[in-house]
Amino acid sequence: MEKALSSRHPIGPYRDRQHRAQVVALWQEAFGYDTAHNLPTLAIDKKLAVNDGLFFVAMDKKTVIGSILAGYDGHRGWLYSVAVHMDYRRQGLGASLVRHAEQALTALGCMKINLQITSGNDAVVGFYEALGYGVEPRISMGRKIAQNIDG
């Protein structure tokens, strides 16, 4: 695994057999879920189907302690599901995960990276501002495609 910048915990690619159960547990702890389209197992399966190499985990020995999903469509990069285990928060690991994903997106030619923060998670705004992200005047809209969620 590659060593992340300024992190004492290695960050490397997600490996399904090794990491799935731990990432699911981490996401359930970090995010909680109230909608089917965000279920960890479904999100992981959909990400693996894309096979873009933009899913990373941070490890402490054999334990997953953090994760980040990134995406790139050739126009914009995106950060999703930045999660750090409770015992490892406020130690720079979240920032290392974001920087690791940023490096991967930059290597693909990405010119701008976006992220969205769900309503009620306003406490994380300062974290992203410290990493150079800013609130932009946008209206975020979405549409769920039920046949790809329930099927």
> 4 lies in a domain?
no
pLDDT tens sequence across 48-101: 999 999 999 999 999 999 999 999 999 999 999 999 999 999 999 999 999 999
What span, in angstroms and rounded, lies between the C-alpha atoms of 31 and 134? 22
Counting DSSP H helices and E strands in the chain, the numbers are 4, 5
pLDDT score at 34: 67
pTM beyond 0.85, yes or no = yes
> 151 lies in a domain?
no
Q: Are strands 113-115 and 63-72 parallel, antiparallel or unpaired?
A: unpaired
**Total tally of structural domains belonging to the chain:** 1
> 143 lies in a domain?
no
The H or E element that residue 97 is part of is helix 93-107
pLDDT score at 118: 83
Tokens of residue 92, six digits: 């720079």
What span, in angstroms and rounded, lies between the C-alpha atoms of 43 and 110? 23
> 5 lies in a domain?
no
What share of residues in the chain are helix, strand, coil (percent, to 5)? 40, 20, 40
1 pLDDT more than 60: no
Range of the domain at 90: 11-137
What span, in angstroms and rounded, lies between the C-alpha atoms of 135 and 112? 14
> 52 lies in a domain?
yes
> 147 lies in a domain?
no
State the CATH number of the domain containing residue 21: 3.40.630.30
111 pLDDT more than 90: yes
Tokens of residue 59, six digits: 């490890």
> 95 lies in a domain?
yes
> 6 lies in a domain?
no
